[in-house]
Structure 1
Amino acid sequence: MCAVTDASKGLVLVVEDERPIADLVRLYLSREGFGVQVEHDGTAGLAAARRLRPVACILDIALPGLDGTEICRRMRADGDWTPVIFLTARDDEVDRILGLELGGDDYVTKPFSPRELVTRVKTLLRRAAGPPEVDRVRTLGPLTLDQGRRTAAVHQQPLTLTATEFDLLAHLLGRPGRVFTREELLAAVWGYASHAGTRTVDVHVAQVRAKLGGAASLIRTVRGVGYTADA
């Protein structure tokens, strides 16, 4: 376990069993003004997430003890929706998709650029902070989205969304009826180019629809193109 470092931008929890990688990530995050707590196994990582309440978590998928996806699953079961980025050395898309389905916000495949990883963290935190328009409310049918408070509800029943799910829904509702390609959604919501894989968008749309329940039809698939919000 690495001692907590206090910094102005908040604490990031890094759970990575490869110590050189963990040290590199800690170095780059510290340079950007983040405090960093490093844990090297999943059990200690989950305990740190519960104890420290970091602003973001970076979780390796393959960990001794609990793996990264199980840490995320238990955090979400606890009602903890701290932004999560997964690290994976595996080529198998199943691992990445499973992580996203369990409530992860993003993933980075090893080997990776530590600068890119820090950028992903900063992007997630900017999105979680919400836009400057504190009174911006969008509605579509029974769905209400309050961008200032970053809350969503269907028939006045609150929805529990990750930061990425919220931003995906907000982007679609920003222009109802406009069809967005998967590449456009990756660029607008995730903030990076299509090399990340359009399957990421599909998984998040499926998660959003599942949480919308009876209002899932508000998000429509346009075959061969992408998605649109359509009442």
Structure 2
Amino acid sequence: MTDGRAPRALVLIHDPDAGERVVRQLRDLGHDVATTEGDPPGLVVAVAGPGTAAAAVTRLRRGRDDRRWPAAVVLLVLAPQALGEVPAADLRGVVDELVVRPVVPAELALRIALARGRLDGAPPADEVVRLGGLELDLALYDARLDGRPLALTHREYELLRFLVAHPGRVFSREALLEHVWGYDDFGRTRTVDVHVRRLRAKLGPDFAARIVTIRSVGYRFDG
């Protein structure tokens, strides 16, 4: 069973740029992160891109077979272009969760928690976030307001989910780009404003007012 603390994480990097981003995100989530093997980890994350997915899965399988990580949750983080490189059958018994990039920290945390719960034999956590009339189903990527389905794009949904998870906290546009889009190209901050505007329009004036613009900084969600 877990004691509630973020487990020590081992990140196996087969795609340097993406791997370093995942390392930063895991540290932000409270994990002690290593990129070389040492003390037994509670979490193993392999990060791969086109041309390296098969090697990453082989490395994970060897670690499982050698029982180097007997109690670890194992995640595989892949670029979309690499999805066809590894048959689903090769992942069974090797990978607990598959995450497709760009990696969003909120999803990363959820995938780790779900896999940990299965390993511990715990009942699944409540995957529906409720706030007033808003409901976010984290498993189905479904959003409803006063029972009415919201036709959100994937990125609009991720943006709303991230803001709702951090009520009262101010995030710069750059921080939202990194946490929600998985980008560290801060020349794209205009895309944050565009998505916030579209999200507000779909939420309607009453709920949209909870997404507050902080002049010259970014946005805050009032829960």
Q: TM-score, normalised by structure 2?
A: 0.46
The structure with more radius of gyration: 2
Q: TM-score, normalised by structure 1?
A: 0.44
